[in-house]
Structure 1
Amino acid sequence: MSTGPLVLAWLLPIPISSLILFRLSLPSTSLFLNPVLTIAWSLTFTATLLLPLDLAAAADAPADADPAYTPAIQGSWLATYWVTFIFSWLLLPLIQDSILDGHLTLLSKLRSALRASARFYLVALGVAVCVFVLLALTTDGVNIPHLLLAFGNTYGLLLALLLLGYGLVAVPRDLWQRASPSTMVERRYLLASSMDSDLFEAVWSLQDVELVCDTVSRRPETSIPEVEAFREEIRFRKEAGVADLVEVEGRRARRAGREPSSPRSSSSSAASSAASSSSHPADAPLLDPSCELTPSNLAALNKSLIAAQTDVRRAVRAFQVLVDETAYYESLSSLSPPEPIAPPPNSSAATHLLASLANVSARLHYLFQAHARRATLKLFAGLLACLTGLVLWSELFMGLPVNLSPFGSWMSASRGSASLELLAVTPLLYMSFCVYSSLFKLRLFGRNGLKKRQSDGPSLCFAASYLVRMQFPLCYNYLLMLRYPASERTAFMTLMQSMDTVPLFGTSFSTYAPLLCVLLCFATLFNFYGRLLASMGVDTDDAILHGGDAEEKAAKVREGVTILRRALQAKQRGGDGPAAAGGGRGGGEQEMGINQTYSYSKV
């Protein structure tokens, strides 16, 4: 096998990852952070591209070849695995903690993040030593790299399979539901109340932190320059942190029991209004306002302020997306043919040509949205549902002695490396997409969700760490699922075979754990998953959409109509935020001027 495809597998993901990060990240994201995230994300895609190449090389190698792979493929897997291991478990968590740290300099932020990471890894090291001693006494011995590989892959495999079980059903079902604008609007009305509460609670928690900041700032000055530098930083961050979010000022005003005023006056009275609601349980780890003014205490307070402001921005981001999606799906119900563009009579030929092209483009867009969009989405949803069925069939019968995997059978019948690589990469890409879309769809991870041009540094680091953490276990599960004879001869499987040195986790667990994926698929398909989470009080989208009786859902829809209608009206009036006047709680009732083609009393 030539090195050209391997080089392409390493280089092609770099521009793709850069483009994805550019479309996701905030314009203010650090220039230092983007290259690190690009490398992490590109390594994830590299692992996905390397596996088909590895399979094709093993299939083309002679039957008596030992090994069936080249040193270049083996080196690529080793480099990719251990670099991603370092990124996911050390570097990216360290960067994420540094961004959210309250110290003033980069060096002090790194030191604080290292101390926090060291406490976690000391505990993990103690557990690892105990397991290592136990395995050394009960087996022929195991080395540390194999132990790290086995437990890292076991953790990633379990998480990947749980997310895969959800995504295999959720991805085609969501695509099918997108074909119906009324269904999508109703779902957003159901979610609006919860997301509005999340935003309101985030603002309340921020005000509680600001109360402590104001109290600390009013205390007498000290003779310690570092303490005064911290207090100045806290004052500046408190005033400027969320000053650009009009939505926050409206909610602060309603909490204080008055109409929204200017940002500065509203911000200056936030602390006093927070004092009147001290019974509100704040999520942030607040300090005692009368604590000793030391750099460590002030750094902790600054960290609390950063965390509270970050939570507010994330909540505002999520609410903005909900408002925009509601407006989009509502507009699909009242489409009308576009008005033709008529250039001035004395315009040039080029102007007439551009106007004609614009009219044709607008007409084609209208025809697609009005007539072809629904059928296209349902066709793709049906194809993905068939692919989901094939994946589940292969996962379900993975542990049988006979090969029942359709993917492995098709690959065995393929002729040529190109067709084999295409057959190998298609289901792997689909499974990867199901896992990653589930990671950010579940509201368990919602605070770190990714939004177009609105994702901050901590969210991007969180996403990258989990992407690289799950890709190798997912590839391992994929090879086991294929039951393709050449799989056992690949360089990747040779790397993963070191897991066999750890009983249970490296052997039978990998074979029978996919049954959890199948069970979760059925639970998601019949909405058992959402109802179970709702009964447990876990706040997820599925629990909100599928939990509760018809009367409760109807009440949520009515409340969502009021909240989102107010937000849409504020946006149409030119407000800076999606809901400059605030959400539904605390505001006066307004007329619901909503498109009445939907039945909002039914879900």
Structure 2
Amino acid sequence: MASALSAASAVGSEVFAAIALLVLSFVVLLILRYYLPLRSTPAYVLVPIFFALWLPAFIVLLVPIDLASSAATDDVAARGIWFPPRLLLVSWRITYWLTFALTWFILPILAEYSDAGYREPRDRVMYSLRQNAQYQAIVLGSGILGLVYYFITYGFHLVFLKGVVMALAYCWGLFLAIYLMGHGLVTIPRTLFRNASISGRLRRLQSHAPKLYERMEDAIMNLEELEVQVSELSKRKTGTARNFQEWIEELADMCNVPESRPGSSMPRIGTESRILPTVITEKYMADLTRQLDRARHARSRYVDEWNLLLLDASRTQAILDSAASKKLDFGSATPGSSFLERTTILNPYSRYVYHFHVLPALRVFLAQFVGDPAQRSPSLDWRKGAGGLCWQVIAALWIMYMCAAALISMTEVKVWRGRALVRRNTAYESGFWYASYVARLSVPLSYNFMTFLSPTVFMKTRFYDFLGQLIDFTPLGNWFDNLFPILVLIPVCATLFGLYGKVKRMVGFDMDLVDEEENETGYGTGSWREGRALIERELNGTSLSRREAIIGGSAARSSPILSVPAARREGAPQPRSPPRPRHTGTTDGDAEDDNFFTSLGHRMKNTIDTIETPKWFQEIGDGIKKPKWLGGDEEGTQAGSSSAAGSGSGKRRYISRNGYQSNPAPDETTTE
């Protein structure tokens, strides 16, 4: 009878949980739609990524429900949302093992399958299995060492073997979460605080523009080289190329070189023998397809980042200029804007007040709130709250903040083989990879959040009975739980005190984990003045890329426009620089050498080179005659003088052709 009443009283919580799951499903679909086109994306991509995002969201919802269900109170109404013990245990088992399977097997295999480059599904599956076998061999080798230690210490027990596997997966995910979350705990409040300054935000955007523009151009040039290679391959009609004629035609249709960039499809004499192998094999075609697909997505990534930077810089400049008129108007929305961006609610004056006064103050408040260590630590007195609805909401928000800190670090710390999330054009392999790490980090962060609470609270939960006991059983898991609050300080201090920048300058590697906002002067990335001129040229439609886009006409979907056409504001300055930023001819690792003294040396050298040689220095030696015993005579002297004058004038002509200022020497008069 008591169990029937308990099950009946949980109907309201179960209905609420079902509605919450429907809402989460709708939110996950919106996220997928933002990064992937739902209609053209295959089902084998959408379904696993959907569950890889939906299951972590359900875990965030399930942890507060588990805490409320295990609360020591007889008042059922004060528990908030709760489940019966059996339903809670089944939910944890299904959620955990589905997440485990997606993380370690399904998503990695599908990621390599989508990035294989082969045409036939069987060849793509074999390629994916070979690539994953290498990674799984490394993981299995590390796991065997742990199993040997476990068998020697505790003996062989099948039940405890499951605990070792779960503890190893938990420790690996928690180790990765320590770094990512520690980086994000500093990045989020610092970004909010820095963006509160409108002029500082504009300056950082301008400083970042030259480096981003160069990366975009490099990605475009890399794609053009591959397209030229495909174009040369399509001209080969004999030999082994005949066996892959349909494959080559598909690559040619994918490139679309004549329509997108006519200049790139110009025939190059003598280049076919250098860029194409003598024998065309299936492995070569797969590698070329894989490189072409990666290059196309890399171009889309940097083009998208460049467009967002232009839009953000234009809006920030408009906010800064509205201080005089007290009116703010962003102009007409771009064709790719969302419904919310096209909706106009505020008038120009209220929009100015919101963006110039309210939003910066709100950012400062949020930066202080999330950056306060006392506010950050989830010191929840669950015994007093008895697992009420208010405490459940607070717990869910803290878990979401911990996950957001880790996931933001994954998008900002770009050391993941060029993987990135691009709006409406994310590569399938990148989508699988990011989804796998979202699922991988959810369980360790959720359980570690519970360990922040009192042991009398989280040890009564079903999550602890299912996972916590097996983790605490092994010394490795217990050691990680005890040292997690201390180890998280390592990435926090590294990000807070700029340790990444010091390591980069010491080692010389081009690590994208360095916070570029610390580089206020812009050394090595182009100064903010170059970025300002570059952004102005793009917004005004006078840049070289914009002119090429206009000449080339409308491009296909695979070739997005390089710049966002925007309405020119009144009083906008005219472009004052060449169409491309300055190239120093150095690599990213040597870009730090371009400091103040190097720039000063370049200017002094250019100044000295433009100084004209004095006339008295040019005429030295004209009056000296060569002795006769050396073969000199009057005619030879005159001929030598004329040849010297001719060579001098030739030098001056050479200097003039190379852009230096030089005045022609006056004509010499001949005395009778």
TM-score with structure 2 setting the length:
0.69
Counterpart CA distance in 2 for 1:221 and 1:136 is 62
Counterpart CA distance in 2 for 1:308 and 1:47 is 36
Match of 1:254 in 2: none
Amino acid at match of 1:293: I
Counterpart CA distance in 2 for 1:440 and 1:418 is 33
Alignment of structure 1 residues 56-95 onto 2, 5 Å: 56-60=68-72, 70-95=85-110
Match of 2:216 in 1: 199
Amino acid at match of 2:452: M
Contact 1:533 1:543 in 2 (8 A): no
Alignment of structure 1 residues 4-403 onto 2, 5 Å: 4-8=15-19, 10-26=21-37, 29-32=40-43, 33-60=45-72, 70-141=85-156, 143=158, 144-222=161-239, 227-239=244-256, 263-269=260-266, 289-335=276-322, 336-337=325-326, 361-386=347-372, 388-391=373-376, 394=377
1:584 partnered with 2:581: yes
Match of 1:601 in 2: none
Counterpart CA distance in 1 for 2:228 and 2:525 is 38
Counterpart CA distance in 1 for 2:475 and 2:225 is 48
Q: Alpha-carbon deviation of 1:571?
A: 8.2
Q: Alpha-carbon deviation of 1:326?
A: 1.6
Counterpart CA distance in 1 for 2:486 and 2:399 is 18
Amino acid at match of 2:36: S
Counterpart CA distance in 2 for 1:149 and 1:270 is 59
Contact 2:180 2:406 in 1 (8 A): yes
Instruction: Provide the aligned C-alpha RMSD in A.
Output: 3.6
Amino acid at match of 1:434: A
Contact 1:188 1:326 in 2 (8 A): yes
Match of 2:466 in 1: 495
Alpha-carbon distance change, 210 to 223 in structure 1, aligned in 2, over 3 angstroms: closer
Match of 1:561 in 2: 532
Q: Deviations over 1:141-185 (max 9, x none)?
A: 464433332222111111111111111121112112222121111
Counterpart CA distance in 2 for 1:194 and 1:309 is 19
Match of 2:437 in 1: 466
Alpha-carbon distance change, 503 to 269 in structure 1, aligned in 2, over 3 angstroms: farther
Contact 2:318 2:328 in 1 (8 A): no
Q: Alpha-carbon deviation of 1:296?
A: 3.0
Q: Deviations over 1:6-40 (max 9, x none)?
A: 43454331111111222233477505233332222
Amino acid at match of 2:263: S
SS class of match (1:542)? coil
Amino acid at match of 1:41: L
Counterpart CA distance in 2 for 1:192 and 1:475 is 38
Among 383, 386, 390, the alignment partner of 1:419 is 390
Q: Deviations over 1:504-524 (max 9, x none)?
A: 431112221332212322332
Amino acid at match of 2:50: T
SS class of match (1:513)? helix
Deviates more, 1:73-82 or 1:11-20: 11-20
Counterpart CA distance in 1 for 2:412 and 2:157 is 39
Q: Alpha-carbon deviation of 1:61?
A: 6.2
Counterpart CA distance in 1 for 2:265 and 2:104 is 41
Query: Any unmatched runs of 5+ in structure 2?
Result: 1-9, 75-82, 330-342, 550-560, 566-577, 585-672
Deviates more, 1:458-467 or 1:48-57: 458-467
SS class of match (1:523)? helix
Contact 2:166 2:471 in 1 (8 A): no
Counterpart CA distance in 1 for 2:119 and 2:154 is 50
Match of 1:540 in 2: 512
Alpha-carbon distance change, 222 to 19 in structure 1, aligned in 2, over 3 angstroms: same
Match of 2:479 in 1: 508
Counterpart CA distance in 2 for 1:453 and 1:551 is 31
The alignment of Structure 1 onto Structure 2 pairs a total of residues equal to: 521
Contact 1:102 1:302 in 2 (8 A): yes
Alpha-carbon distance change, 109 to 191 in structure 1, aligned in 2, over 3 angstroms: same
Amino acid at match of 1:113: S
Which stretches of structure 1, 4 residues or more, deviate above 6 A after TM superposition?
Answer: 270-276, 571-574, 579-582
Q: Deviations over 1:30-76 (max 9, x none)?
A: 052333322221111000110000011111467xxxxx970111111
Amino acid at match of 2:34: R
Amino acid at match of 2:124: K
Counterpart CA distance in 1 for 2:57 and 2:267 is 46
Q: Deviations over 1:70-126 (max 9, x none)?
A: 011111111111111111222222232222221224454334323322333244334
TM-score with structure 1 setting the length:
0.77
Alpha-carbon distance change, 467 to 149 in structure 1, aligned in 2, over 3 angstroms: same
Counterpart CA distance in 1 for 2:271 and 2:405 is 42
Counterpart CA distance in 2 for 1:508 and 1:366 is 53
1:408 partnered with 2:425: no
Q: Alpha-carbon deviation of 1:323?
A: 2.0
Alpha-carbon distance change, 507 to 22 in structure 1, aligned in 2, over 3 angstroms: same
Match of 2:662 in 1: none
Match of 2:623 in 1: none
Contact 1:69 1:491 in 2 (8 A): no
SS class of match (1:489)? coil
Q: Deviations over 1:423-462 (max 9, x none)?
A: 3222212112111111111222483333444434333222
Q: Deviations over 1:305-343 (max 9, x none)?
A: 222222222222222222222222122101245599xxx
Between Structure 1 and Structure 2, whose CA radius of gyration is higher? 2
Query: Any unmatched runs of 5+ in structure 1?
Result: 63-67, 244-261, 279-287, 341-356, 395-405, 588-603
Counterpart CA distance in 2 for 1:523 and 1:339 is 39
Contact 2:109 2:128 in 1 (8 A): yes
Contact 2:195 2:363 in 1 (8 A): yes
Deviates more, 1:176-185 or 1:98-107: 98-107
Contact 2:111 2:429 in 1 (8 A): yes
Q: Alpha-carbon deviation of 1:420?
A: 2.6
Contact 2:206 2:531 in 1 (8 A): yes
Higher RCO by CA contacts (8 Å cutoff, separation 6 or greater) = 1
Identity of aligned residues (%): 22
Counterpart CA distance in 1 for 2:241 and 2:523 is 57
Contact 2:211 2:526 in 1 (8 A): no
1:521 partnered with 2:486: no
Counterpart CA distance in 1 for 2:256 and 2:444 is 45
Alpha-carbon distance change, 372 to 550 in structure 1, aligned in 2, over 3 angstroms: closer
Alpha-carbon distance change, 207 to 385 in structure 1, aligned in 2, over 3 angstroms: same
1:430 partnered with 2:401: yes
Counterpart CA distance in 1 for 2:191 and 2:204 is 11
